[in-house]
Structures are given as structure tokens and as C-alpha cells.
Amino acid sequence: MNKFFGITAMGVLAVSGSAMASEPEQPWIVDRFDDIKVIRYEVPGFEELSLNEKEMIYYLAEAAKCGRDILFDQNFKYNIAIRRTLESIYTASTKRDSDEFKAFEKYLKKVWFANGIHHHYSNDKFKPEFSEKWFRKQLARFINDENRQMDDDLLCRIIFDKELYASRLNQTAGVDVITASANNYYEEGITQEEVEAFYGAMAAADEGNPEPISYGLNSKLVRDAEGNIAERVWKVGGMYSPAIERIVYWLEKAAAVADDVQRPIIEALIEYYRSGDLKDFDTYNVLWVKDTDSKIDFVNGFIESYGDPLGRKASWESVVNFRDEEACRRTAIMSANAQWFEDNAPINPAYRKEEVKGVSAKVITVAMLGGDCYPATAIGINLPNADWIRKEHGSKSVTIDNITYAYDKAAQGNGFMEEFVLREEDRERMKQYGKLSDDLHTDLHECLGHGSGQLAPGVKGDELRTYSSTLEEARADLFALYYLGDEKLIEIGLIPTLDVAWAQYSDYIMNGMMTQLSRIEPGKNVEEAHMRNRKLIAEWCYEKGKADNVIELVEKDGKHYVVINDFVALRKLFGELLCEVQRIKSEGDYEACRKLVEDYAVQVDADIHAEVIARNAALKIEPYGGFVNPEYTPVYSEDGKLVDVKISYPANYVEQHLHYGKDYSFLPSQN
């Protein structure tokens, strides 16, 4: 519920050209394949950090790399075995010129990028472009008793049978979303009804607790020997222990060099990893959210529940970062005015917070990405997720500046705006204010949007079930969009003119109604929570504003364009929808939430979809982007004392993943 993925008309997630395993056309892009580009990001300011700060980043960065196998296994129970088999074939092969091998290489690159065999965004299983006959020959040639990870026949069935484990995350209305999803959060055979009953009983026993536990966050649900439902907890000594032990090892090193403020925070996280007790996780979160002054910060743990159709199980992720002092001015202004924004929100006053506590926001420089933040990452983060901690202790929000900068550099000159934005005045506005409007939208979304509002008495926060993530992202986006067009932002010095807001409005509605469809296969509906959120907002505003022609779908020369005719009226619509979305969340109105999402966020117009794909393909723009991480090398004196940490920027996507597979893979192939 805390990540912000930006996709803009400025090309934040699009670059020109397409060449498999080719030399980069510019230094920012290191690889291209299928619908993906891989970008290099820099870490400006690292060399100026103190030795102690560099050392702490190095240890936290190592911890961030040690959980990679956990995410692979969470995404699908055979992912690690499949990845290791593919890597064995790849590294042993010497004949790499055939079309079959090139298709195999592309498949492996996609598996690395998605942390498994299902697409990281659509959740659909990848379709191999190499033949089963060719693949079986490679298995016979390169896989033997020493490196075989799983039965060859089962492996081939999984890869080539399109119906088997077809979707990692299936949220289709009317289906059992647990049995229809291939993720590894629930043992095969366990049903949605059983999961809801199991955790419903836990929640009932916790009734009235002012500090409710996020039950199920760090465990897999299984059947025990007697056939009863039970949890396998992810902790030291439990499931995923070999990887968690390595994470703890590096966290202990970081704690040893941390100051008196951060040492107890890291130690609390270590204690949680050892106990697996979610109360310990809450203790860590409360300590973490109160630390707003430390320059270096990090996220490490089982955090986000997007990958679970019921929104309970959390994927493992890590982000290591340090504060960008100069860029933090705008987030400091937002934090200082947080109560004003809350008091003036266009929602029922009963659902506003009387006192906004602990809203801290900053612009950060990422130093390392791990788990569910690598290779693809959000551009903004707001944590913790527990509503009671947000209410009582506040939240921390970050905008990741060096990532958005890298996206922006990789996208320059891609032709996207000229193709999809009809009016010259809109293009000029986007060119002038696009980066600022994107950054402010992210800041408002993370800093204030997620932290705004409150639940009605008696509402637990889990009533919206499979629709909760979509609604929460819509709520934060609407908050950001509404206030971006408020003259208060001019008054407090965040924007020079409302044209900044109008640039974002044109971008956002065009994306929600049209251009994000390039990420979806023909014939598919919208499944991913962030994409559903954007479509919901755009389509609802389009429909509600039709009578006044607020948003117009213009056809010219056989192409469609989204045009905003009345920006002020559109802002009013954002406020009206925010009021209803906040009411739904505050009251836990599942039926209203279901109807809103299903009516506006799911179905795709086939003709518009086909047109967007064709126009995008003509530009040779990949709709998805991700990154290679920098490398950190400790430098020691002759007597073994650490004297420096050097940073370098690898530009080979394949080598980085083979390196991670060799040196940061700690789990068995089957868990």
C-alpha cells in the first residue's frame, strides 16, 4: 500500500529503440529485450559521505542483496529451481548464435527481471519463444544429476503448458483468487474460503485491540500433518532461514557502526527476524518511523502485500538510501503544512485526522535496490503500512530522485509526447513543467496522501479484501491530484503557476485512459493495482464530466487523443471522487468498492487498446524499465582496517544477475 510507480507522458518509463543484447545507444541504457529496458542509475554524493556513512551503506547494501531468493520463491514455488536450471544451461552453452538460443536468452532475462516466470506487472506466465524440442536437448546436454534442480518433465510442463500456473496473481471477480494464483503464499489446495476463515478467527480474537496485528504478513499458509491450516513463519529457524540468517549477519555489522539513534532500530529489526513475532515488527516500525533525522535510512523486510490477492502476505524487499539535502526543501514544506492539507481535504470531516502526527518526508538518493524493488522499483515510498501506527506515530515518505533522474535521461527524445499529445500548448506545458509536476505528484501521494484520513470506529481496515490495494492507491493519487491544483502550493512556494498542475492532469488522464494500455496483452483486462487505480480515476472523471465536456476523446487522422478542456472542473471531479473513495475506506464499504473498481478500472476497450499498442510499437518504446545496481568495494589497510568504500557502475545486466545467482543465493531450490 505504499509504493508509487510513475508512468508519464514525459516518458518516465519509455525509451526509443529496441535491440536484444546490443551495445547501449546511450550510457543510461544498458540492455533492451522484449518489452523491457534496463537503465543504469548513479549515486551522486556517495563519495562525499563520511567513512562511517559509507561503511554503513555497504553493510546495508549487502543485506539488501541477500534476500533475493526469498522473493523468487514467494512469487512461485518452482522459481528458484527454474532459474538455476536456466542459468546452468546459459553459462555452459558455447553456441549462442541460433534463433533458439537468442529466444532462450531473452526468456532468462525476463525471468531475472520479474524475479520469476510470471511478468512483474501483468502477472501472466511468460510464453517461451524457443521450442520444447530444443530445450529438452539443452537439458540432456547440460543438466545432470549434480545440477538437476527438478524433474525435467515437470519443468517442461511448467514452461510450455500455458494453462498450468498461468497467473501469479489472479484477481478476477467471481473466482477463488487463492487457487487461481500461482504465488507461493499459500500451499496448493488451500482455498480462499479457508484463508478468510483462518485469519478472520485471528482478527476476531484481536477485536478491540488498539494496536491490531497485521496477521499473516510474514508466513506461508500450509496444511499440517493432520490436515489443519497452519503458518510457516519466515524467520531465523523457520522458512527462508538460510537467507534471513545472511540478512541478519549484515544487519549486525550495520548496527555495530550505527549511532545511538539507529542502533536500537536495527537491533529491533534483527529481533523480529529472529522471533518472527509481528508484535516485534510493530516495535521496529514505531522506532523506525520516529527517526526523521538520520541521513542514511533503509527498508528491509516483508513489507508490501500487492502480490497476495487478499492483501495479507508481504513480499521481501529492501531499499538503502541517504537524504538529498538540497532536494528536501519541497518535502519539508509539505510536512510543515500537513495539518492544513488534512483540514481542507474535500472529504467528510469525520474521516479527517484531528491531529496529523509525525508526517515526515524527504527526497532520497538510492544506494541499493533489493528484492521486490529490484530490478523494477517504485519512485516513491510511504511506510509503515499499519493504520494504527500511521495514526499514533505518523509515517515516513520518500521520493527517489536519482531513479526519476535516470528514467528522465533514458527517455529523452523518444517521440512519445509528439505521438500521443494532440495540442501544442499541452506539449509545451509538459516539457516545461513535466519533471516538477511528476516529482510533486509523487511527494503529495506519498507524503500526505497515504497518511491522510482515518477509519471510522469499529472498522478494522481489511474489509475491502481483494480491492484494498487499488482503492488505497486511488485515494493517495486523488489527494495528490486535487492539491496539485490548489493555489496554496503557489503560496507556500512549491509551484510558480497552476500550469504545473495542468501538465500533470493532461499526463495522468491520458495515461489512465490510453497510454498505460501498452503494458497489457491484447484480450486481457487490467489486473495490477496501480494501473487499475489510474484507469478508475480517469474513466470515472471522463464519464462524470461528459455533460460539460471536461475531458474529450478526440479522433484525428485515425488516431485518438485525450484532451482536457476544463482543468478547474477536472480538479473538482478529483475532489468528489476522493470524498467517495475516502468514505469507502473509512467505512469498509466492500460492495461500493467492488462496484467502483469493476465498473471503471478493469475492462479494456479492445479498439483503443490495439491502437495504443500499434502506435507505441511504431516508436519502438518499451513500456517497462528497471535497473542495474551499483557495486560497492571495501578498501582495507595492510592491518585490515577499513579505510574506504569505492563505488562503481556495472553496465552489464547479464553479468550482474549471474553474479547475484552465484554469490547471493542461499535458499534450497525447493522451500
**Residue closest to 581 by CA, chosen among 569, 592, 572, 567:** 592
Cα–Cα distance for residue pair 381/534, rounded to 1 Å: 17
pLDDT tens digits, 54-79: 999 999 999 999 999 999 999 999 99
pLDDT score of 23 more than 50: no
| Count: domains in the chain | 1
Cα–Cα distance for residue pair 409/28, rounded to 1 Å: 7
Please indicate whether residue 137 or residue 395 has the higher confidence score (pLDDT): 137
Q: Is residue 322 part of a domain?
A: yes
What per-residue confidence (pLDDT) applies to 3? 52
Place of cell 493532461: 506
Q: Is residue 428 part of a domain?
A: yes
Residues in the chain: 671
What per-residue confidence (pLDDT) applies to 5? 53
Q: Is residue 114 part of a domain?
A: no
**Residue closest to 507 by CA, chosen among 597, 584, 430:** 430
Q: Name every residue whose Cβ is closer than 8 Å to that of residue 4 and which is 6 or more positions away in sequence.
A: 378, 379, 380, 381, 382, 442, 445, 446, 473, 476, 530
Instruction: Give the highest mean pLDDT range of 290-299, 318-327, 375-384.
Output: 290-299
Contact 288, 314 (CB under 8 A): no
Q: Is residue 122 part of a domain?
A: no
Q: Is residue 584 part of a domain?
A: yes
Beta carbons within 10 angstroms of residue 607's beta carbon:
9
Beta carbons within 10 angstroms of residue 91's beta carbon:
11
Contact 30, 430 (CB under 8 A): no
pLDDT score of 597 more than 90: yes
Contact 258, 249 (CB under 8 A): no
**For the residues 291-304, what does the mean pLDDT come to?**
95
Cα–Cα distance for residue pair 58/55, rounded to 1 Å: 5
What is the share, in percent, of the chain residues with pLDDT greater than 90? 79
Lowest average pLDDT, out of 39-53, 231-245, 296-310, 389-403, goes to 389-403
Span between the terminal Cα atoms of the chain, in Å: 27
pLDDT score of 547 more than 90: yes
- pTM of the predicted model as reported, rounded to 2 decimal places: 0.80
What per-residue confidence (pLDDT) applies to 515? 94
What per-residue confidence (pLDDT) applies to 256? 98
Whole-Å CA distances, 513 to 250, 509, 534, 561: 45, 6, 8, 10
**Residue 275: helix, strand or coil by DSSP?**
helix
Cα–Cα distance for residue pair 394/2, rounded to 1 Å: 14
**For the residues 396-406, what does the mean pLDDT come to?**
86
Contact 89, 126 (CB under 8 A): no
Place of cell 513475532: 277
pLDDT tens digits, 4-19: 455 443 333 322 222 3
Contacts 24+ apart (CB under 8 A), 293-296: 293/261, 294/259, 294/261, 294/262, 295/53, 295/322, 295/323, 296/53, 296/56, 296/57, 296/60, 296/262, 296/320, 296/321, 296/322, 296/323
Domain that holds residue 511: 3-53+237-627
**For the residues 490-496, what does the mean pLDDT come to?**
95
Q: Is residue 8 part of a domain?
A: yes
What per-residue confidence (pLDDT) applies to 2? 54
Place of cell 497476495: 308
What is the share, in percent, of the chain residues with pLDDT greater than 70? 96
Q: Is residue 254 part of a domain?
A: yes
Q: Is residue 97 part of a domain?
A: no
**For the residues 131-146, what does the mean pLDDT come to?**
97
Average pLDDT, the chain: 92
CA-CA-CA-CA dihedral for 499, 500, 501, 506, to nearest 10: 80
Whether the bond into 375 is cis, omega within 30 of 0: yes
What per-residue confidence (pLDDT) applies to 17? 27
DSSP 445: I
We report the CATH number of the domain holding residue 264 as: 3.30.540.30
pLDDT score of 29 more than 80: yes
What per-residue confidence (pLDDT) applies to 670? 95
**For the residues 436-464, what does the mean pLDDT come to?**
89
